[in-house]
Chains A and B, each alone.
Chain A
Amino acid sequence: MADATLDAKGLNCPLPILKAKKALKDLGNGQTLEILATDPGAVKDFEAFARTTGNKLLESGEDGGVYRFVIERVA
């Protein structure tokens, strides 16, 4: 169970990333954010976002057209 959930369904690039960044700021180090999105571009974008910012992408998956990501805030 993630510490917070962001519903970014229906939003297009770059809104899921921008909103995820904002939501991560409200979390403490080591806490996790679950993101739900429908933008297929979000898959690669969250990978790149995590690699660049150092936050950990713990999970990335798809179920019925909804993409689900779990990111752990690192520092």
Chain B
Amino acid sequence: MTEGGVDLNNTKKMTIIVTKGTLDWAYPPFILGTTAAAMDVEVTMFFTFYGLGLLKKDLDLKVSPLGNPAMEMPMMGGHVGMPNMIGMLPGVTSGATAMMKNMIKKKGVASIEELREAAELSDVRMIACQMTLDLFELDKKDMIDGIELGGAATWMESALQSDINLYM
């Protein structure tokens, strides 16, 4: 409820700008978005650039060790990073992705599909960036139902009324 631009009810609000679409970077926004919703926060997620891919009906998320020296996987009792020279070889991305998905499953970590469904069920507002859609020639038909299209001003309006605004 708003009166003269002042929010009269006490609901806390949060927005997250989601800009990345790799398997690893898909986690922070969906974990925080769903958890906030579970804690009665009204959540708006704005998906732009590579983050927009996270709204596709069929997700095929990948993670690459290329240019990511911090990515060390548990291996042979230790933790092993991968030199960029190796990371660029064909098959390394799919291998690293399979390995991470396997770890995710084994450790009881939610899949992105699962978290996204939780977000839908808890009424997280999901906005797809219209400009990104046009830029990358993507079609709303390929995205999950229930999303809105919007632009910077749509996010801005929501951000101005929010207690927390995150960029990821």
Q: Chain A residues in contact with chain B, CB under 8 A?
A: 10-15, 17-18, 20-22, 38-39, 49, 52-53
Known pairs A13-B31, A14-B31, A18-B118; A49 contacts B108 (CB<8 A): no
Do residues B39 and A14 form an inter-chain contact, with CB atoms below 8 A?
no
Provide the bound-state CA to CA distance between A13 and B35, in Å. 9
Provide the bound-state CA to CA distance between A53 and B121, in Å. 18
Task: List residues of chain A with CB within 8 A of the CB of B38.
Answer: 14, 17-18, 20-21, 49
Q: Chain B residues in contact with chain A, CB under 8 A?
A: 31, 34-35, 38-40, 107-110, 114, 118, 121-122
For the complex formed, measure the closest distance between the CB of B10 and the CB atoms of chain A, giving whole angstroms: 11
Do residues B39 and A15 form an inter-chain contact, with CB atoms below 8 A?
no
Task: List residues of chain A with CB within 8 A of the CB of B108.
Answer: 10-12, 15, 38-39
Task: List residues of chain A with CB within 8 A of the CB of B35.
Answer: 14, 17-18
